[in-house]
Amino acid sequence: MNVTVSKGNLHDFSVCLPASKSLSHRALIAAGLSSTGCRLHHVADNNDTSATMHALKMRGASFTKDGEDWLVHGCSHGAIPAQPIDCCESGSTLRFLIPLFAVQPGTAAFTGHGRLMQRPQSVYADLFAKQGLRFEKQGDILYAEGPLSCGTYQAAGDVSSQFISGLLFALPLLPGESRIIVSEPFESESYVGLTLDILHKAGIRVNRQGNTFTVPGNQTYHMPAYTVPGDDSQAAFFAALALISDKDGDILNMDHDSHQGDHVILDHMRAFGAEVSEIPNGYHIHAADPHGAVIDLGDCPDLGPMEFAMAACVRGDSTFLHAGRLRIKESDRIACMKEEMAKLGCMLEDDGDTVYVHGGKGALRPSAVLGHNDHRIVMALSILAACSEQPITIEDAQAVNKSYPDFYQDLARTGAKISYDH
């Protein structure tokens, strides 16, 4: 699907964010492991969370839609399916569920699409090898053998926090105590915090001391009814639109006490010269004095694509530190944003782990740009296009279904002009 976007009649706006994808994954898993039934409200409805539900069904959980809720009946020790578990393009699904299928004897097979099966799995490869268990990729199929043993797990903290979360979900089901020791630098640590929050709600005990997590065994999940809060990572797109279009934006369905790492977008917006104020159920963004900033992406890499694009449209230059992990997402997000922003007349440079964006860009050059099958790149380019007098076409725009299927409907509510070519 191609989508053409331009400024149209852009005006002050109010947008209600969808449910958090990160917390939806975690809530679905805790409910899918629960020994009692659970009602989940406001679960994110996108391709990634659908992949997690599908995988949990293959493990023995069941999901029934009841209005806007999901009724979940869990299965603490499910069987290993004969068919490969299709994780679609969801890194969270794959990395969270590999250890869960490995708590019992046997070999589970996983597959996926897009760049998923090329994304690094080195943390698990090392852990399985140390226990003498098979962890092998053949083509687009990954084989992971169980059972995992209780004990000490050493995990690198600079690859992806998803590996640590996966272990935290699985280790309580083993018969004895285990420990996870995470090496520095511990990047995206806040996402592990979200996992601990959900585990606590589900009655699972984990003792954390610094970068060491001690997990007692023989625990049972009891996930209570839970409402998934809004997705702070999606706030970046509409906050950026308010800043670079000089329109006031109300972004709703944001928890003022959120533990999501991407809640830092509000601090980033202030650094870029926005006025940010609390309103009921969200925040008001006003573009007071847009200018460049120095931003650390070490704990919030998903904000990178939108902030790169935003930085091109404000006064002065911007520097983004600890951005290297953006290269191992659904696409190489640094290279892809550099390529597509150049088509619009914007300049992005990098030296591997640091990204530099030269601001002060005036009118965008009309062009067709590629979404690279990456939802965050598609949305970032669409926000840029929504500030353009001339239409800009985004190809591969269907990638928004991975995390935000209603993105273009919400963007249209701001007054942006949008047309579709299916």
Which residues fall in the annotated binding site for phosphoenolpyruvate?
21, 91, 119, 162, 333, 376, 402
| Amino acid (1-letter code) at residue 369 | V
Contact 404, 234 (CB under 8 A): yes
Closest C-alpha to 15, from 243, 235, 246, 251: 251
How much is the CA Rg of the chain, to the nearest whole Å? 21
* Bond prior to 280 in cis (omega within 30° of 0): no
Residue with tokens 């050059």: 365
Query: What are the strands, taking DSSP E only, across 126-247?
Result: 135-138, 141-146, 152-155, 178-182, 207-209, 212-215, 226-227
Cβ distance 340 to 271 under 8 Å? no
- How far is 118 from 140, CA to CA, in rounded Å? 8
For residue 48, indicate whether it is catalytic: no
Q: Which is catalytic among the residues 302, 350, 374, 410?
A: 302
Tokens standing for residue 124: 């698990």
Residues in the annotated binding site for 3-phosphoshikimate: 21-22, 26, 160-162, 188, 302, 329
Binding site residue list: 21-22, 26, 91, 119, 160-162, 188, 302, 329, 333, 376, 402
Question: How far apart (Å, rounded) are the C-alpha atoms in residues 386 and 13?
Answer: 13
Token pair in block for residue 196: 């601990």
Residues annotated as part of the active site: 302
